[in-house]
A and B are shown apart, each in its own frame.
Chain A
């Protein structure tokens, strides 16, 4: 038996023993994204069940919430091949993710690349175990697509900065423990005047105000900084060199947003809801639209697989993440439009038990943000045109 095969059977046995039954119902099978079920971790997180807590503890203690991170930073220390096997085994038993977080998905990779040893030791294990939940302080009222025009100011006070300004659209700012934040340390140089800093959301002078979305969810906030003290030990990379880190982190964010896994087949959802006549959906147009969509969606799923294999083989994702982000989020939007069509008038129920408080409608509306958050589709197309196709400015 090869090492990898041995790893697979050990992993399978461990998961069999340690993944609680209620954590195996499998996300991606329901009609909607089921955000309510996700384990985000953090100081304020209320576990939905004992099993959810247990699952996080067990996975966190093995470092399998972040399988490829080094063990000294709380990771699983797995090779890319082993991590792929772990993924496959988790999928096989339809395990829910033990932990989903911006720490794993965005900050971690950036810290691994740009952080000091001390910073990694301080922050990464807490991310791995789900103890600290992070939010992203990038966008501002006047710095959206043109992120580098951000104005939140960090004044140099020797061993610390004093931060003043405002962020907006800060997802889960009211529930996060810490923030990774872009601040201006030099007003005279747009791109080379930005620094990347970390601080506790409980610091004095930080306040948040939730914003409600069209979906009725309120996942993000306006975030205000009023003379917040940030120690220089929490500056990542060099002062005024934060833009490079910010962009690197965005490539991870974008790849993450585009990865919707293998979604439930629309056709079976449609057949379940509407039934068939002579073995086919009665609505011929819907039948065609679903087929056309599923062809694009499956092709995209294979593209994610290919991108991961290329990254594994040492390729640099770079601007390709913009392609994944742009295409993947548009696919997801199209998918939810079809889910709404399949469900007819039921799709628009907004309250009440029957619709699980309007889950279909709210999820559908939530997807509209996919092509805005993490950089809009238009911005991704700009990046492809300039960085990949080398078209003139």
Chain B
């Protein structure tokens, strides 16, 4: 596959950028934050996104989606990174949809996928239990009970956790924390008895929650995939999710560079535009280079994911590289803006706050650099 966007992808990119610029610029996120909005995203926006087909990019046409694949989903995520648009896109249309596609049976697919694509149902994943990503450390317990299971324990860092309709919970049906075997996935209704969703306000002003499960009864039909073999489905879905996060981080980094360069072209000190100082020019040029190199790693991973097969090496490469570059870009952006970059009134500070959260979700640089090394055989 040539490493360029085809015509269809180019069109998608343009329409996504235009769409988010117009419908969900940073001012919308600022407003949601300042209003302490309960829902944490604009329902109107989400409806329009679904009408545009964005909610069903990873869902095939038979299930009501647009079937654009990981490249398309990444292109849209990148555009959202540029405007920091808040929506259940990542949690539901990427992670939720992929997991149901990978592990779900026909009934689960035919009921949930069209509803996700239409933006009517929000499905999210609850995986981590501690402050660092490690699915295998799962200790939430699912005990067999009449006609199903009973779930107990707590999950943290769940995207859209307090607004989701369905939460896919990774729980242990056997074995001890630390082992990859004995983990299973369950579809849990957020409104079911014993499910407590505590919204967690985080630096990025987006939706996060801690989910406490107190004797939650789940029927056998709501087991997602094979009992005890969750990682078989979850591993590749987390790879995809990380590729999409890397795409968003790429958008964030690119936007930081573009805004910073624009500032260097207009701010004057010492009687000249500060963009004429070589000290700043070289930093901007280095950042440009890092972003271009990151773009290649991300695009490669998107393409490999689209072709199928094990993409853990590519996914970890992309996430590690994008995390490092987003860190650089957001730091450099503030520094090169001087004092004004530190003010809340100015938008540039929103990027660093989102970037670090997106970097951390499902493993940051260290996690993925280490995984990259292990999948390379050392």
Contacts and interface: CB of A to CB of B under 8 A. Distances in A.
Contact of B285 (A280, A303, A389): A389
B317 A291 contact: no
Contact of B297 (A265, A302, A385, A391): A302
Given A382-B278, A385-B281, A393-B276, A287 B378 contact: yes
A86 to B, nearest CB: 16
A293 B44 CA distance: 45
A384 B261 CA distance: 12
B377 interface: yes
Interface string A373-393: 000001011101110111111
Interface stretch (B28-36, B150-158, B366-374): B366-374
B79 interface: no
A270 B275 contact: no
A298 interface: yes
Contact of A302 (B299, B369, B377): B299
A313 B280 CA distance: 33
B372 A323 contact: no
A265 B376 CA distance: 9
A1 interface: no
B317 A299 contact: yes
A292 interface: yes
B273 interface: yes
A296 interface: yes
A326 B289 contact: yes
Interface in B343-378: 369-370, 372-373, 376-378
Interface residues of A, number: 44
Interface string B321-332: 100100000000
A114 to B, nearest CB: 28
Interface in B1-20: 2-4
B378 A295 contact: no
B2 A295 contact: no
Nearest to B373: A291
A292 B276 CA distance: 33
B317 A381 contact: no
Contact of A313 (B4, B281, B300, B376): B4
A47 interface: no
A291 B372 contact: yes
Contacts of A302: 3, 296-297, 299-300
B92 to A, nearest CB: 30
A388 B284 CA distance: 11
Contacts of B296: 299-300, 302-303, 305-306
B250 to A, nearest CB: 12
A381 B282 contact: yes
A326 to B, nearest CB: 6
B3 A305 contact: yes
Given A270-B378, A296-B321, A384-B285, A309 B2 contact: yes
Contacts of A327: 289, 293
A290 B376 CA distance: 11
A381 B373 contact: no
A281 interface: yes
B44 to A, nearest CB: 37
Contacts of A392: 265, 272-273, 275-276
Nearest to A308: B3
B274 to A, nearest CB: 9
Which of A268, A299, A384 has most chain B Cβ within 10 Å? A299
Interface in A295-352: 295-296, 298-300, 302-303, 305-306, 309-310, 312-313, 320, 323, 326-327
Given A267-B377, A296-B293, A300-B293, A390 B369 contact: no
A296 B276 CA distance: 29
B285 A381 contact: yes
B264 interface: yes
Contacts of B265: 390-392
Contact of B281 (A267, A296, A320, A382): A382
A309 B264 contact: no
Interface in B257-314: 261, 264-265, 272-273, 275-276, 278, 280-282, 284-286, 288-289, 292-297, 299-300
B276 A391 contact: yes
B230 interface: no
Contacts of B284: 385, 389, 391
A248 to B, nearest CB: 21
A271 interface: yes
A385 B282 contact: yes
A174 interface: no
A43 interface: no
A44 interface: no
A294 interface: yes
6 contacts: A290-B373, A291-B370, A291-B372, A309-B2, A378-B282, A389-B281
Interface of B: 2-4, 261, 264-265, 272-273, 275-276, 278, 280-282, 284-286, 288-289, 292-297, 299-300, 317, 320-321, 324, 369-370, 372-373, 376-378
Given A267-B376, A295-B317, A299-B294, 6 more contacts: A268-B378, A271-B378, A294-B373, A309-B3, A385-B285, A389-B285
